[in-house]
Structure 1
Amino acid sequence: MRSDTGHRLFLQRQRLAAARIGPDPDAPAHRALQPGQARLAIEHFALTANNITYAAFGEAMKYWHFFPAAEPGEGCLPVWGFATVVESLAEGVAVGRRVWGYFPAGSHLVVTPGRVNAGGFVDAAPHRADLAAVYNHCAWCDADPGWQPALEGLQAVMRPLFITSFLIDDFLAEAACFGAEQVLLSSASSKTACATAFCLAQRRGQPGAPRVLGLTSPRSMGFVRSLGCYDDVLAYDALTGLAPGVPTVYVDFAGNAALRRAVHEHFAGTLKYSASIGGTHWDALAAAGTSASLPGPRPTLFFAPAQVKKRSSPPPEGWGRDGLDRRLAQAWNAFTTAATGPEPWVQISHRSGPEAVLVAYAEVLSGQADARQGLMLSLA
């Protein structure tokens, strides 16, 4: 067996700040391929607040199950990135082909390709059979219409988040925004919130289109306002300045329980819907009582794969898979045009090596990462 031990990021599931870099269990030195398997060398991957959400909801949403860690209490952080097939005993999977997919934050991944076709393949490893299918698909880069080499960093950082944002917008539009006149987004500087605000803003001028409001930290207000997607941007402590009688939908990207309670209590009887999306404020997820005790509608976790499944179904409920892909591609192209303008929304920062990855993870976990920066990391 080869000597390449690779590297992988491991986290303590119950103490997310406890992180270490260890040998990658899927590297050539630690795992020989079995018939039907292939080994991917992970070239680089994005790290955003969305990955912190994966960790914060790792137990409830089974994110830890995708890439099991051998040590009790540890987990492998899921990320989105690019990899190359470096060994293959799987039919139809050629060495040298490049793929885009959902990987562990590491240097390697052994997959069991199934349903191999012109677009890519599904990782049919037995432990992934009952997990959300959207995360199990790997796309061939040379067959992906959304892949642009010059925008690869933007794709890795923003495309998975944008898909979630597109689906949130679609979900709210389908429900006529639950009769609300405004949508309030927490953690408004987070990339998923910004992309959601962009999608919502595309409806300006249409009958019933809601105003889009953002809550963020004082240091991020200038950046959030510069995007032009929000009708108003407020600091968290300015929440009470909003008129409490306006019918409102709350889209919670922060996951801060104290903030959620403040929003529910402020809008009381006029809060039409409360959607829980992320956990950027991961250290305050359970700080202010249970959701059951909140006034107004009970917060509902938005699970993007469920909306994908619904919209992939045939009409009238869905658009069919081709219809969903077409609408998503149109929205993504509009977003990339805006995000790569004279003042880019995201400035890609490349970092490599174990120490650099640990530092970057600590920055994102603590909320200290620059909102305009997109991190592309490598443990190769």
Structure 2
Amino acid sequence: MAEVPVIQILEKEKFFTQHIVPLPHAVPYPPLTAPSSLRLRTKVMCLTTNNVSYARLGFLFGWWDVHPLPPSTPAQYNDPAKYGRTNCWGFAEVLESTVASVPKGAYLWGYLPLGTLAQDVTVEEGAIPGQIFVTNDYRKGVMAIYNRYFVHPASLKDEIEKKADGLAYDAIVRVMFETSYLLNRYVFASDPKETVYPGMDPKAQWSPAQADITGATVIFLAPGSKAALAFAYELRNARGGTQVKKIVGATSESSRNFVEGTESYDDVILTSESSASVLSKLQVGAKDKVVLVDFGGCAGVGAKWAAEFKRTHNNFLMIGVGSEISESSQEDALKALTAKGSSAIGINANDMRIRAMEKVGEKKYFDNLAAAWDSFKKVGIKGLKITWGDNMEDVKKGWDKLCRGEATPEEGLVYRL
């Protein structure tokens, strides 16, 4: 008897509210006969703050459209204006294939739906062997980073069965590492010729003075986040001859022990402190450069500190990477983005990647990224505890935990479906 697929469906305006929905009428699947097509099923996936961001800002960036509600969705949930599916990073198993280079039994790493329902996609080969792009019409308006998939051999099944830590890192941290890699290697590039602007505006300029963080004090908000820890690693290990002065984690009291235990920061301070006491404690002079990087700290802290730093330091820069988990309306989400944009330069991984590839070439970019990722995985994140779940009920519990704010920074939530 065929497995009854199960998917997660969210309420778009109340995306903390989820429904785990079986789809008995979706099976059996018909034969896959269309050319250049793959039938994929999510096999390994993660839950992080990214998942919530995809739901919160899905209306703005088209993320609700990446994996639409399937035709077999029950009537009570089959209103795309009200309901939708959010996305995750991980591995999908190739159940069927009409693509010679991607055989049945292979795996793809990339942007996946939450659930066990198979999906059929049309693909084309990328310029780099082992990479493919999804080309379905409904995904043509989606940023390229979400349509690019990386092919892995069928032998990956052994690692999946073992629930290998390296596989969990690929699901949980890999895309966040790339964001931090781009920040270090290209936004704050040691080689000025490779510098790129971090945001979405194609006309915006990124000056050499902004890009130069030599001797800067770099302060992280939400320093326990995976992206923050990856950026701290990059700053410490991949700066060439241009080193920052100090890497500082600004955290809440509840996360302090984990952040200190990672040994990723030169100093760990509390977000409850005033900006004046922070800079005094860190021995930051009035002419020294200060870079504040917000990976999703408590609401209001970044804006408050930025305003205070600006008054005392002319050489100040704020970068916005993430945001605090919150169930905000579309209107409130837009207001928050606008408010943050007034003090922080927001980044976009898709645009950074495209500009970086234009600088060094596509092959060199991915070769260098793969080498850097392998180096990071060998070291790992000290204190990170990987927790595996095994089914959509476990995913449901993980989503609720994330939305209630009960997931701690030292947890890595990954699932084998």
Aligned counterparts of 2:356 and 2:149: Cα–Cα separation in 1: 20
TM-fit CA distance, 1:104: 0.6
Answering whether residue 308 of structure 2 is matched by residue 266 of structure 1, we say yes
Please name the residue that 2:352 is paired with.
307
Please name the residue that 1:104 is paired with.
113
Aligned counterparts of 1:158 and 1:144: Cα–Cα separation in 2: 22
Which of the numbers 219, 222, 226 marks the counterpart of 1:187? 222
Query: Can you list the C-alpha shifts for 1:2-44, whole angstroms capped at 9, x where unaligned?
Result: 8543111122222221111113699544777561332112212
Output the amino acid matched with 1:281: I
TM-fit CA distance, 1:126: 0.9
User: Number of residues paired by the alignment?
Assistant: 369
Which of the numbers 401, 404, 410 marks the counterpart of 1:372? 410
Please name the residue that 2:168 is paired with.
153
SS at match of 2:373: helix
TM-fit CA distance, 1:228: 2.1
Query: Can you list the C-alpha shifts for 1:190-242, whole angstroms capped at 9, x where unaligned?
Result: 11111111111225794452422222221211211122221212222124321
Please name the residue that 2:18 is paired with.
19
Alignment identity in percent?
25
Query: Can you list the C-alpha shifts for 1:313-336, whole angstroms capped at 9, x where unaligned?
Result: 1xxxx1111221232123212211
Aligned counterparts of 1:338 and 1:155: Cα–Cα separation in 2: 14
How is 1:295-374 mapped onto 2 (pairs within 5 angstroms)? Answer: 298-313=343-358, 318-339=359-380, 344-374=382-412
Does the 8 Å CA contact 2:89/2:111 hold for their aligned counterparts? yes
Instruction: Point out the more displaced range, 12-21 or 84-93.
Output: 84-93
Output the amino acid matched with 1:64: W
Does the 8 Å CA contact 1:55/1:63 hold for their aligned counterparts? yes
Aligned counterparts of 2:24 and 2:211: Cα–Cα separation in 1: 47
Please name the residue that 2:45 is paired with.
45
Aligned counterparts of 1:144 and 1:321: Cα–Cα separation in 2: 27
SS at match of 2:176: helix
Output the amino acid matched with 1:309: I
In the alignment, structure 2 segments of 5+ residues that lack a partner are 70-77, 190-194, 196-207, 281-285
Output the amino acid matched with 2:301: L
Query: Can you list the C-alpha shifts for 1:296-354, whole angstroms capped at 9, x where unaligned?
Result: 963222001111111111xxxx11112212321232122112217xxx44332111223
Instruction: Point out the more displaced range, 19-28 or 105-114.
Output: 19-28
Query: Can you list the C-alpha shifts for 1:220-278, whole angstroms capped at 9, x where unaligned?
Result: 11211122221212222124321284532222121654123212222124363222211
TM-fit CA distance, 1:156: 1.2
In the alignment, structure 1 segments of 5+ residues that lack a partner are none
Aligned counterparts of 2:293 and 2:395: Cα–Cα separation in 1: 30
Label 1:260 to 1:252 Cα distance change in 2 as closer, same or farther (>3 A): same
TM-fit CA distance, 1:125: 1.0
The CA RMSD over aligned residues, in Å, is: 3.3
SS at match of 1:282: coil
Answering whether residue 244 of structure 2 is matched by residue 209 of structure 1, we say yes
SS at match of 1:110: strand
Which of the numbers 317, 324, 327 marks the counterpart of 1:280? 324
Aligned counterparts of 2:87 and 2:25: Cα–Cα separation in 1: 15
Output the amino acid matched with 1:248: V
TM-fit CA distance, 1:361: 0.9
Aligned counterparts of 1:78 and 1:114: Cα–Cα separation in 2: 21
SS at match of 2:181: helix
Label 1:377 to 1:143 Cα distance change in 2 as closer, same or farther (>3 A): closer
Please name the residue that 1:133 is paired with.
144
Does the 8 Å CA contact 1:42/1:109 hold for their aligned counterparts? no
Does the 8 Å CA contact 1:312/1:319 hold for their aligned counterparts? yes
SS at match of 1:17: strand
Aligned counterparts of 1:47 and 1:124: Cα–Cα separation in 2: 26
Aligned counterparts of 2:155 and 2:139: Cα–Cα separation in 1: 23
Label 1:327 to 1:88 Cα distance change in 2 as closer, same or farther (>3 A): closer
Label 1:13 to 1:86 Cα distance change in 2 as closer, same or farther (>3 A): same
Label 1:233 to 1:281 Cα distance change in 2 as closer, same or farther (>3 A): farther
Please name the residue that 2:72 is paired with.
none
Label 1:62 to 1:183 Cα distance change in 2 as closer, same or farther (>3 A): farther
SS at match of 1:277: strand
Answering whether residue 122 of structure 2 is matched by residue 86 of structure 1, we say no
TM-fit CA distance, 1:52: 2.0
Aligned counterparts of 2:378 and 2:317: Cα–Cα separation in 1: 31
TM-fit CA distance, 1:144: 11
Does the 8 Å CA contact 1:178/1:249 hold for their aligned counterparts? no
Output the TM-score relative to the length of structure 2.
0.78
Please name the residue that 1:67 is paired with.
67
Does the 8 Å CA contact 1:178/1:273 hold for their aligned counterparts? no
